[in-house]
C-alpha cells in the first residue's frame, strides 16, 4: 500500500504538494470514486487511479537520468555513421530515453535524459529561461570589458544573444577558465559567443542545467535526480506546462 499523493508523484503526474491539490480539488478517482481526503492509501497493483478521468498507467512511469557526458559521443539517439552516441552510455533495461538538449561531440558534462516529453519541452524552450552553467576554457585571457559585451548580449549570425553571466574562475598558463551562465540553447552558442570576441574555446564542460547539477559524477557515469531535484523539475513542469499535469 502506498499513499496516493506519493504514488502520483512517483508516476510523474505531479509533485507531491501539487498531487495533494489535485486530490483536494476532486480531480482524482480511486476505483471510480472521487477521493478528497489526503493520506488515503492505495494498492498500485490493484486499484484503478484516474486523474481528470484518465487512467494513470502502472509500469509506464517517467524516468529521469543525469549523465556526465565524456568527450567523443554524439548527443543523438542514433548515428547513421555508427559513431558512439550518448545512448550507448546509459544502463540497460530502461525505457527509451531521449537527451534533453544537446552537447557537442567534444563538450563534456551534464546531459539530462527523460521520456517525459512535456518536461523536455519546458527545459529546452527558450521562453522558459532555464539556466545552463558552463565551465569554459578559452585561448587567452579576456578582459572584463570584453566579457561585459557578452554579458550585455552580442550579435551572432542567427541574431542577438540574450544577456549572459560570466566570471573568470582562474587563469592557467595564460588561458582563462570562465564560468558562464546562459539561458538560450542555440547550436554551438557558447563557442560562437566567445569566438565572436576573439577567444576560441579550448574545452567546454556543462556544470548545471536548471535545478540539476553534475555533483561528483565521473565522466560516463549517470544517476537519477535526487528527491529535491525531482521536486524542482516537476515544479517547473507545472509552472510552464500546466496542461501536462495528467496521467501518464
Residues 6+ apart with CB under 8 A from 212: 66, 110, 112, 225, 229, 233
Task: Give the nearest distance from C-beta 84 to ligand URA in angstroms.
Answer: 16
50 makes contact with ligand URA (CB under 6 A) = no
How big is the CA angle at 121 (ends 119 and 125), to the nearest 5 degrees? 130
Environment class of 157 (CB within 10 Å of its CB; exposed 0-12, middle 13-18, buried 19+) = exposed
Closer by beta carbon to ligand URA, 18 or else 132: 132
161 makes contact with ligand URA (CB under 6 A) = no
Q: Residues with catalytic annotation?
A: 104
Closer by beta carbon to ligand URA, 204 or else 214: 204
- Tell me whether strands 159-160 and 2-3 are parallel, antiparallel or unpaired: unpaired
Torsion of CA 229, 180, 139, 85, to 10 degrees: 30
Binding mask 201-240 for ligand URA (x = CB under 6 A): ---x------------------------------------
C-alpha cell at 142: 579576456
Quick one: CA dihedral 122, 125, 127, 133, positive or negative? positive
68 makes contact with ligand URA (CB under 6 A) = no
Binding mask 106-125 for ligand URA (x = CB under 6 A): -x------------------
Out of 189, 199, 205, 209, the only residue in the binding site for ligand URA (CB under 6 A) is 189
Out of 2, 104, 221, 232, the only residue in the binding site for ligand URA (CB under 6 A) is 104
Residues 6+ apart with CB under 8 A from 180: 133, 134, 136, 150, 164, 165, 166, 190
Task: Give the nearest distance from C-beta 149 to ligand URA in angstroms.
Answer: 17
Out of 28, 190, 214, 222, the only residue in the binding site for ligand URA (CB under 6 A) is 190
Site residues for ligand URA per CB under 6 A = 103-104, 107, 188-191, 204
Amino acid at each position: 500500500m502506498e499513499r496516493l499523493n506519493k504514488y502520483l508523484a512517483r508516476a510523474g503526474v505531479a509533485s507531491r504538494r501539487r498531487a495533494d491539490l489535485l486530490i483536494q480539488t476532486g480531480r482524482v478517482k480511486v476505483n471510480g470514486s472521487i477521493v478528497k481526503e489526503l493520506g488515503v492509501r492505495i494498492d498500485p497493483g490493484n486499484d484503478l487511479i484516474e486523474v481528470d478521468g484518465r487512467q494513470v498507467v502502472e509500469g509506464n512511469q517517467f524516468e529521469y537520468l543525469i549523465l556526465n557526458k565524456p568527450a567523443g559521443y554524439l548527443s543523438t539517439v542514433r548515428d547513421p555513421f555508427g559513431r558512439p552516441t550518448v545512448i550507448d552510455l546509459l544502463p540497460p533495461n530502461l525505457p527509451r530515453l531521449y537527451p534533453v538538449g544537446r552537447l557537442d561531440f567534444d563538450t563534456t558534462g551534464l546531459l539530462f535524459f527523460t521520456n517525459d516529453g512535456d518536461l523536455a519541452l519546458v527545459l529546452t524552450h527558450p521562453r522558459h529561461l532555464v539556466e545552463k552553467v558552463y565551465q569554459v576554457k578559452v585561448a587567452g585571457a579576456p578582459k572584463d570589458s570584453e566579457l561585459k559585451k557578452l554579458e550585455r548580449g552580442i550579435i551572432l549570425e542567427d541574431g542577438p544573444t540574450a544577456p549572459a553571466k560570466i566570471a573568470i574562475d582562474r587563469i592557467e598558463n595564460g588561458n582563462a577558465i570562465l564560468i558562464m551562465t546562459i539561458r538560450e540553447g542555440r547550436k554551438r552558442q557558447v563557442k560562437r559567443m566567445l569566438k565572436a570576441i576573439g577567444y576560441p574555446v579550448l574545452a567546454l564542460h556543462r556544470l548545471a542545467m536548471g535545478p540539476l547539477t553534475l555533483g561528483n559524477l565521473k565522466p560516463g557515469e549517470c544517476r537519477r535526480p535526487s528527491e529535491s531535484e525531482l521536486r524542482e523539475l516537476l515544479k517547473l513542469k507545472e509552472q510552464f506546462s500546466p496542461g501536462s499535469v495528467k496521467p501518464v
